[in-house]
Amino acid sequence: MIRYEFIDSSVREEDIHPDSIFDRERFMARNFVRDMEIAGGIQPCPVCGTGRHEILITKWGNRYAICPETWTISLATMPGDKTVFRYYHESRLSRFRASREYQVMMSEKRKDLWEGQIGWIEGRISRYMGNDRYRVIDWGSKSVGWLESLNTAGFVESLLVQEPLPPIGESPGFEGPADIVCLIDVLQRQTNPHGLLEKIAGRVRTGGLLVASCRAGSGFDVLTLREKSESIFPLDHILLPSPRGMERLLESSGFDVLELTTPGLLDIRYIQNAAQSVPTDQYFLRYLLEQGDEFLLDRMQGFLQRNNLSSHMRCVARKK
Amino acid sequence: MGDSRLLRTGIIGMGKMGRIRKQELDAHPGFEIIAVCDSNVDATNDFPDLACFTLWEEVLSLDLDALFVCTYNSVAPDIVCAALAKGLHVFCEKPPGQSVEDVQRIIRAEKKAGGKVLKFGFNHRFHHAVMEAKAIVDRGKYGRILWARGIYGKAGGLYFKEDWRSDKTLAGGGILLDQGIHMLDLMTYFLGDFVEIKSFVESCYWKEMDFEDNAFALMKTEEGKVAMIHSSATHWKHKFSLDLFMEDGYLCINGILSSTRSYGEESITFAKKQFEDEALAFGRPREEAIYFDRDDSWRLENEEFHDCIIGKKKLPQGNSEDALKVMRLVHKIYETGQ
């Protein structure tokens, strides 16, 4: 297994999630969730099926349970498929995110980030499949700008979109299996991750790659800020696998994991930005935030990255 | 896997390398170890289920498909040539003998053997950091290589003088031939053939020994790419580092995984060239680093050997051409530096 470190202190939370927009998104998400009816007890871990008893947080009335086996976190009781569909396709939030205003803003804010992400994907493809052009599926696309960037990447021969969110429509694409599937920040919105991965496994050729990213439930800011975290909320975040959970998920869905890393840049910044919410009895954290300088905090982020402890996870897996 | 893919295999030399190879071959479903051999009978005592020999000629009388040669540099070429003449596929640990003439003799035997796979153990090419570096260079994103710098050093240790590697007859060369050869192989792998060489080959500390304990070389290719290497037996803290600087970026490999982890974590750091208009702090570009936790080099090397035999494929690396190139380089450094 490998570990990854990527220091880039030019990335700030407010750059990729401007408060003015993110507050509106959270407001709309909260309103949707408030009206949502979820009945039932704590369900087993959606990744490994282990029974769960421990509730990590309750956010807007929704409980998140922690898996004792893998430390994967997910909603304790999963919403129904119709509810999830409404949230992502029909809700006020989904319409806002599909708006031209939102899409243009995302493209402007995340251009560099996407460029880096495509550079990463290109590097992994080059490493495991060689320098060539491939048939690519972007699964669960949600940004027009991301697709435009991906479409111009040197490794893309043809690009197919599957199960996109508005405003993106399904593309006719190519026939036959894909060489590569990109699954960028999609797993975190799944109630049935095995079902999704089995579908993907059916669309990628043997030896082809799955390149995925996802928020990790075992990440520093998630476990530290818990219900105070502004960046984790239902139903944007239904499932937050840990690296171990992700590995089990992929292995049991027909993939060999080649890489699983957490090169997140923002754990410490999320905590810095929520400093006033850090409980007073968290002395180490308070000491770190109050006494540590920028260099120390950068090194701390580097440590989290290098030891798979950040909350942004990336993985590369090969179809068996 | 059917029986036709199972290779009946022998190992000559059951010292450290022979044992590593055996462990890896045991884990590969395509090799069946039939016999082991070591001139020291005690070295084969741990393998009661196998046919054990003290004379390598006896192993060659068995019905084998492949042979792993993990013994002294002085006898390896004779064994390789004899095995090829018997129609076996041969894997030989580095160095491929003691001299350029040894390798040339092996190549003649290889040609006569017609189609048998002959591979040499340059396992560093199969370390994850090196494979990552090769992918970065081949991708061409950073342009062509300008220069490279490699350091491979270890501490000689308490029994350095008594070790077979320090025996003039058995080894035939010092630290450069024993360990530095890996770095030279990587330099030719990345930069190509060197046509100009300047060097110092020194006994800095182990004065009473027959061979060098340090070698320093500057090498230049026809296209003007320059590489500098330092191979050392007086590196009291073990070190492996390989830096490749290209027109538009760079990569640095630090550490190489070993059983004791004495060369540190294995990592590769890389970045795009960034001048004042891009960098946060000029001279400190935004870097990415990958750390590797597993050494799969032996396994991957064995897999390539097996695949080439079964698939009747041309060996892509670690072939006799690579071996000849690197041995020429070793001896050129010796000639110019002593």
Whole-complex ipTM: 0.82
> What pLDDT digit, counting tens, does each position of A35-85 carry?
887 778 999 999 999 999 999 999 999 999 999 999 999 999 999 999 999
Mean residue pLDDT of chain A comes to 92
Contact list, A10 vs chain B (CB under 8 Å) = 280, 286
Contact list, B288 vs chain A (CB under 8 Å) = 4-6, 263
Contact list, A306 vs chain B (CB under 8 Å) = 289, 291
**Quick check: A123 and B292 CB within 8 A?**
no
Q: Where are the domains of chain A?
A: 13-319
User: Measured between alpha carbons, how far is A317 from A180 in angstroms, rounded to an integer?
Assistant: 10
Lowest mean per-residue pLDDT among A151-160, A234-243, A264-273: A264-273
Q: What's the confidence (pLDDT) of residue A83?
A: 95
User: Measured between alpha carbons, how far is B133 from B131 in angstroms, rounded to an integer?
Assistant: 5
Contact list, A127 vs chain B (CB under 8 Å) = 131-132, 135
A237 or B288: which leads in pLDDT: A237
> What pLDDT digit, counting tens, does each position of B16-71 carry?
999 999 999 999 999 999 999 999 999 999 999 999 999 999 999 999 999 999 99
Q: What's the confidence (pLDDT) of residue B2?
A: 45
Which residue does chain B place closest to A130, by CA atoms?
B135
Which residue of B136, B286, B295 to mutate against A (max A Cβ within 10 Å)? B286
Question: Which DSSP state fits A80?
Answer: P
| Residues 267-326 in B contacting A (C-alpha not used; CB under 8 Å) | 280, 286-294
Which residue of A5, A11, A262 to mutate against B (max B Cβ within 10 Å)? A5
Task: Name the residue facing A5 among B128, B136, B289 (closest C-beta).
Answer: B289
**Quick check: A3 and B136 CB within 8 A?**
no
CA atoms within 13 A on the CB side of A183: 28
pTM of the model: 0.89
Q: What's the confidence (pLDDT) of residue A6?
A: 67
Q: What's the confidence (pLDDT) of residue B278?
A: 78
User: Measured between alpha carbons, how far is B127 from A123 in angstroms, rounded to an integer?
Assistant: 17
Q: What's the confidence (pLDDT) of residue B60?
A: 96
What is the CATH number assigned to the segment(s) B124-298+326-337?
3.30.360.10
Mean residue pLDDT of chain B comes to 94
With a cut of 60, say whether residue B99 has pLDDT above it.
Answer: yes
Shortest CA distance to B15 belongs to which of B34, B35, B39, B31? Answer: B39
How near does any CA of chain A get to the CA of B294, in Å?
A: 6
Q: What's the confidence (pLDDT) of residue A171?
A: 78
Structure tokens at B26: 């045991």
Q: What's the confidence (pLDDT) of residue B55?
A: 96
**Quick check: B286 and A8 CB within 8 A?**
yes
How near does any CA of chain A get to the CA of B293, in Å?
A: 6
> What pLDDT digit, counting tens, does each position of A103-123 carry?
999 999 999 889 989 999 999
Work out the average pLDDT over A12-37.
Answer: 84
Task: Name the residue facing A7 among B138, B286, B290 (closest C-beta).
Answer: B286
Pick the CATH number of A13-319 from 3.40.50.1360, 3.30.2320.50, 3.40.50.150, 3.20.20.70: 3.40.50.150
Could you give phi then psi for residue B178, rounded to 5 degrees? -80, -50
> What pLDDT digit, counting tens, does each position of A200-235 carry?
999 999 999 999 999 999 999 999 999 989 899 999
Q: What's the confidence (pLDDT) of residue A280?
A: 85
> What pLDDT digit, counting tens, does each position of B292-330 carry?
999 999 999 999 999 999 999 999 999 999 999 999 999
Contact list, A126 vs chain B (CB under 8 Å) = 135-136, 138-139
With a cut of 70, say whether residue A9 has pLDDT above it.
Answer: no
Q: CA geometry: angle at B184 spanning B181 and B185, to 5°?
A: 85
Looking at chain B, the whole-number percentage of residues with pLDDT higher than 70 is 98
E runs forming strands in B165-261: 194-202, 214-221, 226-232, 234-246, 249-254
With a cut of 50, say whether residue B1 has pLDDT above it.
Answer: no
Q: Where are the domains of chain B?
A: 3-123, 124-298+326-337
Which residue of B288, B292, B294 to mutate against A (max A Cβ within 10 Å)? B288
Q: What's the confidence (pLDDT) of residue B260?
A: 87
A13: confidence class by pLDDT, cuts 50, 70, 90: low
With a cut of 80, say whether residue A186 has pLDDT above it.
Answer: yes
Which residue does chain A place closest to B135, by CA atoms?
A127
Amino acid at A247: E
Cβ–Cβ < 8 Å for B1, B28: no
How near does any CA of chain B get to the CA of A127, in Å?
A: 5
User: Measured between alpha carbons, how far is B202 from A281 in angstroms, rounded to an integer?
Assistant: 61
**Quick check: A126 and B135 CB within 8 A?**
yes
**Quick check: A2 and B135 CB within 8 A?**
no
B3: confidence class by pLDDT, cuts 50, 70, 90: low
User: Domain B3-123 has what CATH class?
Assistant: alpha beta
Work out the average pLDDT over A276-285.
Answer: 88
